[in-house]
Amino acid sequence: MKSKALNSDRREAREYQTPSSGIFFRARKVLYEKKSAFQSIEIIENDFYGRVLFLDGLVQTTEKDEFFYHEMLVHPALACHSRPEKVMIIGGGDGGALREVLRHPVQKAWLVEIDQEVIRACEKFFPWLEEALSDPRAELAIADGFEFIQRTTEKFDVIIVDSSDPVGPSAILHDRDFYARLKKVLKPDGIIAAQAGSQWLHLEEHLKKASFLGRLFKLARFYFGPVPTYPVGTWCYNFLSDRIDPLAVKKLRIPAGLRYYNEEIHRASFALPAFFYNQKSQKSRKKK
Ligand code: SAM
């Protein structure tokens, strides 16, 4: 794996999804390149996907397909909550999750992003970020999400964890300790939704996470959705709550104007593939 996506001739950007396979994008133009205090940031223009953001060589967002990821990360949790007034997003510096949160009648939405440079770059090249941040309900905090939750005095109805993969500054956002502390700032009927990586490439990590999340929350479910430019094209998310079962909610509050998420997708997305169950039961057999 390499930490930059652009090749030396700067005409192509590649993400290695495994050491020997991945995805490539022709770069019509290199729009932005910087090494921040936390990571390498690259934005290119591609003929099919439009603007593409890479952090440490990994695709984070593309103009053309970002809606799959941001709608599935945000709406299942918000649509299940009867009054999502206070919402916090941890990570999410490209602004797509914030834009989706603000479609709901929330009172206040915090965006807690560690890297000011990601915000600067995305404000320039992904106009929805600037628009979302100018909403009077939005508040930006440049801070480490783990530190922020230890000092905040707020309690949240919904928390969205829009972290990068468990490497670099995001590693801490995938641990048991982080989720245990996150639960302390969640209201009793609150919901957490978190991006959880690829169920195919990160199965071992999922199973480890499933076991500690299952002990921390009464309801800890995985759900899935497509993201064409993420590794293997299907992405996985955690839905965590002590009170709200996403499959038992009678009336989903779905905002108008979405392109992927709807009621049928909501129900279908909680179905798990057979290999997930098989691996889980093999693991529990080994433990006995
Ligand atoms: N959807 C993306 C993905 O999985 O590819 C994640 C997108 S979002 C750009 C991830 C953001 O999390 C990055 O901007 C990164 O700077 C931020 N981040 C990483 N570690 C963080 C931390 N400890 N606290 C707050 N933000 C963090």
Nearest to 128, CA basis, from 72, 197, 51, 42:
51
Q: Which atom of ligand 1 is nearest to the CA of 38?
A: 16
The C-alpha atoms of residue 77 and residue 160 are separated, in whole angstroms, by: 8
94 Cβ below 6 A of ligand 1? yes
Report how far residue 264's alpha carbon sits from residue 15's, in angstroms, rounded to the nearest whole number.
32
- pLDDT(288) > 50: no
Whole-number Å distance between alpha carbons of 187 and 79 = 16
Asked if residue 282 has pLDDT above 60, the reply is no
Q: How many angstroms does the Cα of residue 271 sit away from the middle of ligand 1?
A: 27
How far, in Å, are 57, 161, 191, 244 from residue 165 at the CA level? 11, 11, 21, 27
The tokens describing 261, both together, are 């998420």
* pLDDT score of 38 more than 60: yes
pLDDT in tens, 11-36: 999 999 888 999 999 999 999 999 99
Which of 270, 268, 212 has its CA nearest to residue 239? 270
Residue 169, ligand 1, Cβ within 6 A: yes
Measured from the CB, is residue 163 less than 6 Å from ligand 1?
Answer: yes
pTM for the full predicted model: 0.95
In the chain, what are the domains?
12-61 (2.30.140.10), 66-277 (3.40.50.150)
Q: Residue 260 corresponds to which tokens in the numbers above?
A: 């992927």
Distance CA 102, CA 107 (A): 9
Residue with tokens 């090249």: 125
Active-site residue among 56, 65, 115, 162?
162
Element (H, E) at 131: helix 127-133
pLDDT of residue 273: 86
3-class secondary structure, 106: coil
User: How many whole angstroms from its chain centre is CA 64?
Assistant: 17
Cα–Cα distance, 40 to 157 (Å, whole number)? 33
Does 115 participate in catalysis according to the annotation?
no
C-alpha 256 – ligand 1 centre gap (Å): 27
Please, what is the average pLDDT of the chain? 93
CA of 282 from ligand 1 middle (Å) equals: 33
**Facing residues of 156 across strands?**
186
